[in-house]
């Protein structure tokens, strides 16, 4: 569980037998819950209900303890199936809007790629799109040799990042939200596969660094090792935008259902995955994974691929797609360049969740999805170091800590927008931290606290 931002299934039977963690793990003890009810269905347990015993009436068909589903639901403890508890789906800023999936051709000419992407975004905006999604690695050939050459310093911006600068400018001028596919990012001595999200004001609302690197070896088909040049990201990314709450993943991230489930539990309306599946896995898994993520979590899933170029070193599958919350394909294309315009209607999410009330039927008495991605309301920050509040909150334990690294925000609206880091912990639905502007040395003095400094953990960008 080290790494807290991702999710982990904790089957209760296993929890009764073992801690499930390496002896050196810092996983919080309170995450290792015990469930006595699970023992009642183990083979040989005298309290186990016999599902094969003869029965002549509906009321006794499933044994003496049978009850209607509505009455059984509380005993299942569905609210405990997510830790922290799943958030209610937040009211979106708008119920319907148009999304554009820009399936673009990519060449070795970076300036051409940037101009080409801009033209596609503007065309999509002209057709009424309020959200535009670009492909994975749209400004560079997809290769380990190319990543260092085409990488940009997104934080520096300007001439150091012409790709993100273009996205910012177009988002502002057309007043649209842009999920900027992904580009190679240079940060210090590291390279990342990074997706930038720009709001209608042209400001960077957040960025997602690919968490799961594409390291595969299918003999005779395809071998690729992103880890030769790229560093894995350390944070799930969920962003509130003018078109709803969006969870971001990049390509290989879509294979890990825990990430999508975590986003759904934090109230995402839509999951966006810029990706570039190949000619081996694409035909088998590309649409399958999108429909699975959408159906499992009962929300919208949008993907965007580069167009196929059979003459390039890496050949993309294409087939950019929008999938609805019932797992149905709403819009897709083939492998050529295309701009798909489709409508998203968030009211359908509630309808499908009413048709199949999975959230009310989960067995929190048997299993849990644990994660530490949660909302914090920032009120005032004045320094580069924070101290944990675990002795003041019944929701936290001594394994939870927090630190702060500098990242300036909008000086008018958000004087101190920062990058926080967290270690593992069991989090409440909401946690509010209120700080005094009383910096002391290299730290900050918090109200009613004087705890130990912590400098490790996981990163979450709060916007």
The residues carrying an active-site annotation are: 136, 210, 251
Which residues have C-beta within 8 Å of that of residue 443, sequence separation ≥ 6? 383, 385, 386, 387, 453
Q: Residues near 19 by Cβ (< 8 Å), separated by ≥ 6? A: 27, 32
HSE-CB at 329 with a 13 A cutoff on CA atoms is 13
Residue closest to 252 by CA, chosen among 142, 149, 340, 150: 142
DSSP 251: G
For residue 311, how many other CB atoms are within 10 A of its CB? 6
The 8-class DSSP code of residue 36 comes to G
**Short-list 94, 101, 11, CA closest to 346:** 94
Note the Cα 131 to chain centre separation in Å: 18
Q: Give the whole-angstrom CA distance, residue 347 versus residue 298.
A: 12
SS3 for 332?
Answer: strand
Phi, psi for residue 439 in degrees, rounded to 5: -70, 135
| Residues 6+ positions from 108 with CB-CB distance below 8 Å | 141, 146
d(CA 5, CA 307): 33
């Amino acid at each position: 569980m080290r790494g807290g931002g991702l999710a982990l299934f904790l089957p209760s039977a296993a929890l009764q037998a073992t801690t499930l963690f390496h002896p050196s793990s810092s996983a919080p003890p309170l995450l290792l819950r015990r469930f006595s009810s699970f023992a009642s269905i183990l083979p040989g347990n005298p309290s186990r209900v016999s599902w094969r015993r003869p029965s002549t009436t509906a009321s006794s068909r499933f044994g003496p303890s049978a009850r209607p589903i509505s009455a059984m639901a509380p005993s299942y403890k569905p609210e405990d199936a997510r830790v922290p508890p799943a958030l209610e789906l937040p009211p979106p800023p708008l119920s319907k809007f148009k999304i554009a999936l820009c399936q673009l051709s990519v060449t070795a000419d970076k300036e051409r790629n940037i101009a080409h992407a801009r033209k596609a975004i503007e065309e999509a905006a002209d057709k009424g799109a309020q959200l535009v999604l670009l492909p994975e690695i749209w400004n560079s050939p997809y290769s380990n040799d190319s990543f260092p050459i085409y990488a940009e310093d997104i934080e520096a911006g300007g001439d150091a990042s012409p790709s993100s600068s273009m996205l910012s400018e177009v988002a502002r001028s057309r007043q649209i939200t842009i999920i900027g596919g992904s580009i190679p990012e240079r940060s210090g001595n590291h390279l990342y596969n990074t997706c930038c999200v720009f709001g209608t004001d042209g400001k960077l609302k957040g960025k997602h660094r690919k968490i799961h690197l594409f390291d595969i070896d299918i003999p005779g088909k395809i071998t690729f090792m992103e880890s030769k040049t790229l560093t894995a990201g350390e944070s799930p990314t969920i962003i509130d935008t003018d078109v709803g709450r969006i969870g971001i993943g990049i390509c290989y991230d879509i294979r890990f259902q825990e990430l999508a489930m975590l986003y759904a539990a934090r109230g995402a309306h839509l999951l966006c995955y810029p990706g570039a599946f190949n000619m081996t896995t694409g035909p088998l898994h590309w649409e399958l994974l999108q429909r699975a993520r959408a159906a499992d979590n009962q929300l919208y899933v949008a993907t965007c691929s580069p167009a196929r170029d059979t003459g390039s070193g890496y050949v993309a599958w294409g087939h950019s797609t929008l999938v609805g919350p019932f797992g149905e394909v709403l819009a897709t294309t083939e492998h050529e360049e295309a701009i798909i315009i489709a409508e998203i209607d968030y009211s359908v999410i509630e309808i499908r969740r009413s048709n199949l009330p999975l959230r009310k039927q989960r067995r929190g008495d048997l299993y849990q999805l644990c994660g530490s991605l949660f909302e914090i309301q920032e009120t005032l920050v004045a320094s580069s170091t924070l101290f944990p509040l675990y002795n003041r909150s019944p929701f936290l334990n001594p394994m939870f800590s927090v630190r702060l690294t500098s990242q300036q925000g909008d000086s008018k609206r958000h004087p101190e927008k920062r990058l926080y880091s967290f270690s593992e912990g069991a989090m409440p639905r909401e946690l509010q931290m209120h700080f005094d502007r009383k910096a002391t040395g290299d730290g900050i003095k918090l109200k009613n606290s004087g705890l130990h400094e912590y400098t490790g953990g996981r990163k979450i960008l709060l916007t």
